[in-house]
């Protein structure tokens, strides 16, 4: 069981991460049945505090909380008093005053979730839903769950699997969290990107690095394409989109280089035609929609464990 806050994958032990995946598996079995709701978090209030746009993360946290019978308050910076200059501290304390037991925060600044937790401005549990270019721990957990589901068995770690992560590593909190988690779970990770889209110090990460996508595709079990994050790019990182696509984009020709068992992942939102072609996104090997579906079970597991869910077996009898 994880306890406290969820700020970074670095804070999780391997057993804790596998425990969250196992809880997600149990919860998926329950919520895939006719009764989707559990009474576990009845009376708890979860605030989605989003200073950056989101579709998947915000909606899946909301769905997860509601399936556990919690009350949900959705806060979006757009249209709020943040536009009048209200600070993170005052915003968070305002929401705490309305009874938040957990705050799920997405923020453009790396470290925002940790600041909220460390300063103790609020007493609620803090869950990092993406902070700047730093981390997106629940995305990594749902990605690990998806890989486990497709290529391993329930409870297994990811030893023996080759995962290739391709694209805008520099700006990607998804890449950082996935490198930490997938290597912790035993996978071998290779990063593929132009040198301009690799962060300073990447040579110290526990990964291999390649600049040639075609060379690594034949031996990988998972190819995870990353979004080119144009909104975070102040400079030009590659000559043209066409050139980027030609060298680093996933297309039908590259799909044919993959092993028959290999899967294609993308955290979304996708730039179809840039880092991934429409045919690749919709190919039978693509598990992008599964990732979204699994996000609900994994976020249920995170809320369940952090907010003190009781043993799952007694929950089953309480299904509503």
Whether residue 37 lies in the annotated active site: no
Contacts of 16 (CB under 8 A, 6+ apart): 1, 2
Among 167, 194, 249, 267, contact with ligand CP (rule: CB under 6 A):
267
| 3-state helix/strand/coil string of 83-122 | HHCCCHHHHHHHHHHCCCCEEEEEECCCCHHHHHHHCCCC
Contact 261, 151 (CB under 8 A): yes
Is residue 219 a contact residue for ligand CP (CB under 6 A)?
no
Q: Annotated catalytic, 152?
A: no
| Helix (H) or strand (E) segment spanning residue 166 | strand 162-166
Is 106 in the active site?
yes
Nearest to 303 by CA among 133, 121, 72, 131: 72
Using CB under 6 A as the binding rule, whether residue 268 contacts ligand CP is answered as: yes
Least Å distance between CB 55 and ligand CP? 4
* 272 DSSP 8-state letter: B
Q: Indicate the residue among 135 and 157 with the shorter CB distance to ligand CP.
A: 135
For residue 16, the minimal CB distance to ligand CP (Å) is 22
Task: Find the catalytic residue in 36, 37, 56, 293.
Answer: 56
Torsion angles phi and psi, residue 270, rounded to 5? -90, 140
Quick one: 184 or 266, whose CB is closer to ligand CP? 266
Compute the C-alpha angle 13/18/20, nearest 5°.
95
Q: Is 139 in the site for ligand CP (CB under 6 A)?
A: yes
The rounded radius of gyration (Å) of the Cα atoms in the chain is: 19
Compute the least distance from the CB of residue 130 to ligand CP, in Å.
6
From 25, 44, 58, 106, the catalytic residue: 106
289 scored as a contact of ligand CP (CB under 6 A): no
By the rule CB under 6 A, 230 interacts with ligand CP:
no
**Shortest Cβ 164–ligand CP spacing (Å):** 18
**Of the residues 13, 35, 55, 253, which one makes contact with ligand CP according to CB under 6 A:** 55
Q: In this structure, are strands 162-166 and 125-131 parallel, antiparallel, or unpaired?
A: unpaired
Strand 102-107's sheet: what is its strand order? Answer: 71-76, 45-50, 102-107, 125-131
Told to judge if 171 belongs to the known catalytic residues of this protein, a careful annotator would answer: no
Catalytic residue, chosen from 40, 57, 133, 190, is 57
CB of 58 to ligand CP, least distance (A): 6
Q: Whole-angstrom Cα distance, residue 124 to residue 47? A: 10
Q: Binding string, 105-134, against ligand CP, x = CB under 6 A?
A: -------------------------x----
> Does the annotation count 57 as an active-site position?
yes
Helix (H, G, I), strand (E, B) or coil at 210: strand
CA 128 to chain centroid: 10
Residue range at the interface with ligand CP (CB under 6 A); choices 22-30, 54-62, 76-84, 186-194: 54-62
Residues at the contact surface with ligand CP, assessed by CB under 6 A: 54-57, 130, 139, 267-269
Catalytic residue positions? 56-57, 84, 106, 136
């Amino acid at each position: 069981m994880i306890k406290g806050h969820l700020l970074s994958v670095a804070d999780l032990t391997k057993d804790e991460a596998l425990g969250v995946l196992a809880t997600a598996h149990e919860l998926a079995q329950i919520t895939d049945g006719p009764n989707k709701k559990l009474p576990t978090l009845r009376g708890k209030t979860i605030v989605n505090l989003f200073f950056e746009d989101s579709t998947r993360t915000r909606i899946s946290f909301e769905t997860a909380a509601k399936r556990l019978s919690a009350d949900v308050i959705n806060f979006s910076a757009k249209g709020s008093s943040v536009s009048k200059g209200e600070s993170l501290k005052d915003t968070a304390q305002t929401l705490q005053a309305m009874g938040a037991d957990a705050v799920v925060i997405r923020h453009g600044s790396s470290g925002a979730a940790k600041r909220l937790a460390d300063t103790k401005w609020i007493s609620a549990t803090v869950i990092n839903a993406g902070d700047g270019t730093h981390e997106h721990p629940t995305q990594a957990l749902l990605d690990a769950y998806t890989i486990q589901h497709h290529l391993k068995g329930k409870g297994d770690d990811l030893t023996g699997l080759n995962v290739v992560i391709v694209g805008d590593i520099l700006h990607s909190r998804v890449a950082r969290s996935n490198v930490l988690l997938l290597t912790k779970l035993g996978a071998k990770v290779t990063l593929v990107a132009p040198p301009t889209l690799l962060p300073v110090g990447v040579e110290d990460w526990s990964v291999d690095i390649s600049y040639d996508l075609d060379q690594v595709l034949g031996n990988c079990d998972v190819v995870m394409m990353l979004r080119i994050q144009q909104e975070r790019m102040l400079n030009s990182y590659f000559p043209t989109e066409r050139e980027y696509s030609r060298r680093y984009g996933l297309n039908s020709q590259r799909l044919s280089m993959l092993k028959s068992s290999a899967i294609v992942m993308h955290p979304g939102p996708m730039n179809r035609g840039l880092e991934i072609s429409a045919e690749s996104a919709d190919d039978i090997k693509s598990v992008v929609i599964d990732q979204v579906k699994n996000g609900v079970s994994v976020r249920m597991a995170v809320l369940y464990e952090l907010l003190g869910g009781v043993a799952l077996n007694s929950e089953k009898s309480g299904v509503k």
